[in-house]
Structure 1
Amino acid sequence: MRTPATLIALALAVVSLAACGTAVRGTAVRSPAVLADDLSRSTKSVVEPDFVNGTDGGAVDRLAATSITDIQAFWTQHFPAVFGGQWEDLRGGFYSVDTADAEAEPPPCTESAATISGNAYYCSNGDVIVWDRAALLPVLTERFGGGSVVLVLAHEMGHAVQQRTGLGRGGDRDNAALYPGIVIEAMADCYAGAFVRWVVDGNAEHLRIEADELDSLMRALITFRDPLGTSHREASAHGDAFDRVSAFQDGYDSGLKLCADINASNRAFTQRAFTSAEDEARGGNLPLPDLLPAISGDLGAYFTRELSQSGHEWSPPRIEPVTTDPNCTGGEQGAVAFCPQQNAVQVREEGTLGDIHTNIGDFGSGTVLASRFALGALNAAGRPTTGEPAQRGTLCLAGAYTGSLLNPQGDFTVSPGDLDEAVQVLLGYDYPARDVDGGSIKSGFDRVSAFRGGVVGGAKACDLG
């Protein structure tokens, strides 16, 4: 968190080599049993990788080949309706590279195999997709499951779609102002989301992804978010965690036509660079004892304004420190709880909240706190404080507050990385969605979706009444 700053405008960039995001770090998983087991979970039937250049024929490339086959079938089916022409398979084909082999031949568009270590890319000059089978796909499979491999390859195929269409449905290839790098990546994330939905709905011939795997896919996606403090002006910008999951969810929920229409004139991004050396030195984070009074004061002012505009009055709840997890409502809200009878937000700094603050960042804990003020706002407006409407409304209002910090009215705003922290806490914990009885939304995908609704639509989207 930091003091206010003006959002930085988008700049132009179109690249021919789309290496997608920060390389995944980790040790390759070489256990055939692990890979074969995940291959079985992720597929109905397996396509052999005979058409993949450089393949070793192993489980990693078998999953990649199966994914590519269904992704191309998806575009063969859907490309004509969206773009008015026939889909053309990649003329340069597909390349699997063992980057652990010092003697490996360099794939197209690069000078050495080591260049792509931990990554995958689409190269428009050769019309090829290349992946690292040693230090990317096995690591993804181990951490996030086989669906993450599908996601990465669907994203890269999205860049091939852009090459075939002049980027979007308008075919504005020469209008670079509409398609800076971050827009190109958002569109590819969106295409990947639309494909994953097609698989989840049971339409793929070979692949299998269950809805309860979506949280793992989104965790994989945010692994490729840009380094902290990257400006969205940069040509290589891919977006922060919020930008990336937003594009993926838009494709999943709304389909290809929305994806094809994305450009800089109709899409906002939350990624930003640091604007002060002080904020950069502390990584955009405030210590928890400093955060609590600052954000609670700002939350009180925000919800006072919103409730007043809706014709409701309230007194912002006071912060009440406690030494054990609060149980003021009889429901387990977690380390932070809204207590209607006392009009208080009880906070236990140690334990879970402190762990979130340390391991995720200050807006991870800030999101939990914002959700409790949001629950208080629902209570003041006479809205339900239990059940799914309360759970979704709480997340939506916490998102609306977060969205207000992108253009702050007070002395409080977000730092680079804060929206990443919000996404991480929403994927990892259900505390921000808990109602006064402790009921919650179990799916991280759904929690992020409800929160995003508030960020994008403001409090009016949250049925405050």
Structure 2
Amino acid sequence: MIRSFGAVSAVLVSAVVLSACTVTVQGTPLGAGRVINPDKQEDVDTSFINNTDGGEIDKLAGTVIKDVEKFWEDGFPATFDDKPWQPLRGGYYSVDTSDKAAPPPPCTDQASDVEGNAFYCPSADIIAWDRASLLPVLKEKFGEAAVMLVLAHEMGHAVQRRAGITQQSQRNDPQRYPTILLESQADCYAGSFVRWVSDGKAANLSLDRDSLDPALEAMVLFKDPVGTEQTAQGAHGDAFDRVSAFQDGFEKGAKLCSEITVDNRVFTQRGFISRQDEATGGNLPFDQAIQQLEPDLNAFMKGTADKLGKQWPTPKLDRVTSSPRCSKGDQGPVAYCPNDKTIDMQTKGKLTDLHAKIGDWATGTIVSSRYAVSLLAVLGKPLTGPEAQRTVLCVSGAYSKFLLTREGNGVFTLSPGDLDEAVQVLLGYDYPARDVDGEAPATGFERVAAFRTGAVDGINACDLR
């Protein structure tokens, strides 16, 4: 069975394959953000790659492979009880999917089988990638770090095989080794490698932390379609699951990744529970979403305040047509107003635009963050500074967890894909993280990490006492 990074969107593939057409691809072209050390740029030898053309894409891929091999040569024994690392016996394959006559790699029938993909094949012990319509598009739209992430993920599957997780073990015990678990573990291993590079330990690669955001945006493209059951064959996870696994590896290392099991990993991906929810893609119209959010957020914040011995004042939610200007800093389209303890929400403009562009939980994430600022005020906590910014995101994430795990007929809850919308708005915008001075963490990576603290561990993890 081929282990791939995930199903790439048709739009991403068509950006290269249908080069004569005008196609809009998500992402911002990135000319900078190179990951190969400048003094190593001319030293890249691609001769070890089967079917290479020796071009820039394979130079980048080859450089990543060399460093990820070194990472596991050193790190595999430390992770797996001194067991030595075994290099891939089948090697690496670059595939020109634009050429119908190009030789296919092992485990495939024709070169076009690799189109828009990169994969690890355990039976041949090889890694292959599409050098025509995957890696160059990732590089152009999301930076070289996205290419590094994809290839490190595939090496993660090779790590699993060497750690004893085989096709046979998965067939014999699919409940213990569901596909989504194996993909999450490979994402985690990729995160541990990227952290090693980011820390300056790689011989050939380097990485600025700012380059992580576009790489994670690329990962969002490879999420499963909204509504996919986590038990589905070939499931890789929703955007929240995939980014969470990557960040766990980045923050906690390969040893934690090796210990991921069905008993200690909770996945947020799930199927639709009603035809109506499926028909709308799980999204409510803006006015209806706000109508349900307002009382529910107040109830959640009141319950939290009550447990901490404080009285929740039920702040008034003022609908405004202009941008909120009720504090000295720009909080974005929704703002907590310290002087009169209200919340101003712009009903037309950026908030409604994001609601339409991303989905209703982009709105929910932003609005809940302003109620979180109000909660900090009630608790007498600072409303400015890095700690306030992280706590606001944590509380917003905890509210999302509360909704995701809530049970009962007819209750307000999250739909499949909602947490993906939270990830998207956090990566692309800093509104949910802003304090009352309008300051926020600089990177989406930091914002998602703080939100995840609450979304995974709940309100108690937000350190409100």
Whether TM exceeds 0.5 here: the answer is: yes
Instruction: Look up the equivalent residue of 1:106 and give its one-letter code.
Output: P
Aligned residue runs from structure 1 range 375-454, under 5 A: 375-408=373-406, 411-454=411-454
* 1:76 matched residue in structure 2: 73
Which structure would you say has the larger RCO, counting Cα contacts within 8 Å and 6 or more residues apart?
Answer: 1
Aligned residue runs from structure 1 range 105-124, under 5 A: 105-124=103-122
* 2:24 matched residue in structure 1: none
Deviations 1:404-448 (A, max 9, x none): 111116711111110000000000001000111211111110000
Question: How far off its partner does 1:167 sit?
Answer: 3.2
Query: What is the rounded CA distance, in whole Å, between the counterparts of 1:301 and 1:37 in structure 2?
Result: 47
**Does the Cα contact within 8 Å between 1:39 and 1:59 map onto a contact in 2?**
no
Question: How far off its partner does 1:175 sit?
Answer: 4.2
Deviations 1:209-261 (A, max 9, x none): 11111111111111111111111011211111110110000000000110000
Query: What is the rounded CA distance, in whole Å, between the counterparts of 1:362 and 1:147 in structure 2?
Result: 30
Are 2:129 and 1:141 equivalent residues in the alignment?
Answer: no
Deviations 1:172-211 (A, max 9, x none): 9954322211110110000000000000111111111111
What percentage of residue pairs aligned between the two structures are identical? 50
Question: How far off its partner does 1:28 sit?
Answer: 2.8
Cα separation, partners in 2 of 1:271 and 1:143, compared to 1, 3 Å = same
Query: What is the rounded CA distance, in whole Å, between the counterparts of 1:99 and 1:172 in structure 2?
Result: 30
Question: How far off its partner does 1:316 sit?
Answer: 1.9
Unaligned stretches of 5+ residues in structure 1 = 1-15
Instruction: Look up the equivalent residue of 1:207 and give its one-letter code.
Output: L
Are 2:301 and 1:315 equivalent residues in the alignment?
Answer: no
Query: What is the rounded CA distance, in whole Å, between the counterparts of 1:91 and 1:201 in structure 2?
Result: 29
- State the secondary structure of the residue aligned to 1:257: helix
Aligned residue runs from structure 1 range 140-219, under 5 A: 140-167=138-165, 175-219=173-217
* 1:9 matched residue in structure 2: none
* 1:282 matched residue in structure 2: 280
Deviation above 4 Å: which 4+ runs of structure 1? 35-41, 171-175
Query: What is the rounded CA distance, in whole Å, between the counterparts of 2:77 and 2:368 in structure 1?
Result: 45
Q: TM-score, normalised by structure 1?
A: 0.92
Unaligned stretches of 5+ residues in structure 2 = 20-28
Match of 2:16 among 6, 28, 52: 28
Query: What is the rounded CA distance, in whole Å, between the counterparts of 1:173 and 1:43 in structure 2?
Result: 42
**Does the Cα contact within 8 Å between 2:34 and 2:143 map onto a contact in 1?**
no
Q: TM-score, normalised by structure 2?
A: 0.92
Cα separation, partners in 2 of 1:39 and 1:378, compared to 1, 3 Å = closer
Are 2:64 and 1:67 equivalent residues in the alignment?
Answer: yes
Query: What is the rounded CA distance, in whole Å, between the counterparts of 2:31 and 2:248 in structure 1?
Result: 31
Query: Which segment is superposed worse, 128-137 or 159-168?
Result: 159-168
* 1:249 matched residue in structure 2: 247
Instruction: Look up the equivalent residue of 1:432 and give its one-letter code.
Output: P
Query: What is the rounded CA distance, in whole Å, between the counterparts of 1:68 and 1:157 in structure 2?
Result: 8
Query: What is the rounded CA distance, in whole Å, between the counterparts of 2:418 and 2:458 in structure 1?
Result: 18
**Does the Cα contact within 8 Å between 1:403 and 1:458 map onto a contact in 2?**
yes
Query: What is the rounded CA distance, in whole Å, between the counterparts of 1:296 and 1:36 in structure 2?
Result: 39
Instruction: Look up the equivalent residue of 1:79 and give its one-letter code.
Output: F
* 1:13 matched residue in structure 2: none
**Does the Cα contact within 8 Å between 2:30 and 2:140 map onto a contact in 1?**
no
User: RMSD over aligned Cα, in angstroms?
Assistant: 1.9
**Does the Cα contact within 8 Å between 1:22 and 1:227 map onto a contact in 2?**
no
- State the secondary structure of the residue aligned to 1:110: coil
**Does the Cα contact within 8 Å between 1:271 and 1:416 map onto a contact in 2?**
yes
Question: How far off its partner does 1:19 sit?
Answer: 1.9
Cα separation, partners in 2 of 1:81 and 1:174, compared to 1, 3 Å = farther
**Does the Cα contact within 8 Å between 1:167 and 1:173 map onto a contact in 2?**
no
